[in-house]
Structure 1
């Protein structure tokens, strides 16, 4: 007799690239206690990235989906939902199946994304309960942060789609003066407010995990920038590096 453990896994479970797992987080989905599934792969190479080990999908996945699911099952009743993060989680084409499986477990689903794949994100929105949208800079200056031409138009197309959706969302901008000027940061906030965004977070750069050691210098958030951005949003958060 074949046991359940001997049954072949669905193809998507064999393809999904889970690079990390956090069983309990109070910060990845504001107001919720969530598990976080980190997926490998990202088309961008942002200088301040603090998860550079998740940028590539080379080699087998470090964590099997079976192990993730087993932990989620044990935590039902203790967590509100699951956040898929990265890397850029929409880079993984198995993501829609993973989201569907999490919903079958009775858990809500959140997503962290930079919007690199607008079409994929638009298709995912009906499956999501919340989106944390990471903006990089002014649309015309994206390449200076991501290193990829055309990334600005894709990101802001995604931003418009999320802002116009009925899915709860928070837009956030990580600030470092060497990569994002105060003027560009203010324009990001103004464009977000124009899209109707109400929840916006301005985040200080975190050196932890970043491969560019020099960025640890001069990373403070200017007080005058905070003062200009905060009034634009009904729900504004300032997140320090600590």
Structure 2
């Protein structure tokens, strides 16, 4: 039965969706993904636009999610909190504690909109994937929110200083990022100390903007010269197309497994 989802007090999260098993949301981990409702930014290419509003119809109660995770102990490695923006909700800290108590590793997907909240949570997570929307000075063109680049930059600094495993990644839409901007963006991240970076192909499926969906994907992501220019800046770098990941790893795990964090 669908319930009205609104911000909850205490440790209860407003959940917009649940993926019982994912192999891609935290590379190398068997993970369930909890999609938190609400996001402060309005990225036109978002493929989860139903998660942007803080209130929405949902069939997921946090206690139901916990009951599901209890049944998956020993079968899953981790739980990833995604969104939307998980840090938007006051109950996220308590939720992380409850999931940790069940014995799961914890991953976090964030856009870095709330650096102070991120700083408080970093000691509680095992891995962070942060979306880098654009060069920081140009963030508003993608997020629709003025001065959104400043908190994102601060969040990058906090993640790097924390010692938590991480990946920074940029979704590339040809109308929002050009082939000439990508090396500039990559260089700026490398100067900050980023060592693990990925470019992701825009997926038109689910995009609420008909104009952006019609533009399709960025053909320059297939440019070998572009990847060759960016890859040396990082310890690990990859380009993710739908169903395919192409990348370079300077350090590898045993048995040849690529290190993607």
For 1:149 and 1:11, the matched residues in 2 are separated by: 29
Structure 2 vs 1, CA of residues 206 and 59 (structure 1 numbering), >3 Å: closer, same or farther? closer
Equivalent residue runs for 1:19-34 within 5 Å: 19-34=16-31
Aligned to 2:242: 241
- Indicate if the aligned counterparts of 1:175 and 1:221 stay in contact, CA closer than 8 A: no
Higher strand share: 2
Structure 1 unmatched runs, 5+: 1-9
Separation in 2, partners of 1:226, 1:218 = 20
Following superposition, the deviation at residue 140 of structure 1 comes to 0.7
Alignment CA distance shift 1:99-1:221 (3 Å): farther
Distance 1:220 1:160 in 2: 29
The 2-side partners of 1:19 and 1:27 are apart by 19
Which residue matches 1:5? none
Q: CA deviation at 1:61?
A: 4.8
Mapped partners of 2:228, 2:203: distance in 1:
21
Find out whether 1:215 has 2:205 as its counterpart: no
Q: CA RMSD in A?
A: 1.6
Q: Say if 1:175 and 1:205, in contact at 8 Å, map to a contact too.
A: yes
Corresponding position of 2:192: 195
Higher mean alpha-carbon deviation, 30-39 vs 62-71, is at 62-71
Contact residue 86 and residue 112 of structure 1 kept, 8 A: yes
Listed as ranges, the gaps of 5+ residues in structure 2 are 1-7, 244-261
Deviation string 1:15-66 (CA, Å, 9 cap, x unpaired) is: 4100000010000001111000000010100011000000012256531011
Question: What CA distance in whole angstroms lies between the structure 2 residues aligned with 1:196 and 1:207?
Answer: 32
Rate the CA distance shift 1:88–1:11 in 2: closer, same or farther, 3 A. Answer: closer
CA displacement at 1:225 relative to structure 2: 2.8
- Which stretch has the larger CA shift, 23-32 or 217-226? 217-226
Q: What's 1:7 paired with?
A: none
- Please state how far the C-alpha of 1:213 moved relative to its aligned partner: 2.5
Q: Distance in 2 between matches of 1:204 and 1:190?
A: 20
Between the aligned partners of 1:167 and 1:87, the Cα distance in structure 2 is: 22
214 and 59 in structure 1: CA distance in 2 versus 1, 3 angstrom threshold: closer
TM-score between both structures, scaled by the size of structure 2: 0.85
Q: Is the 2:25–2:80 Cα contact (8 Å) retained in structure 1? A: yes
Contact 1:83 1:111 in 2 (8 A): yes
**CA offsets per residue over residues 165-199 of structure 1, 9 Å max, x none?**
21000010111120112233222211221222221
Report 1:154-165 matches (<5 A): 154-165=151-162
The aligned residue for residue 229 of structure 2 is: 228
The answer on whether the counterparts of 1:16 and 1:61 sit within 8 Å (CA) in structure 2 is no
**How far apart are the structure 1 equivalents of 2:128 and 2:92?**
14
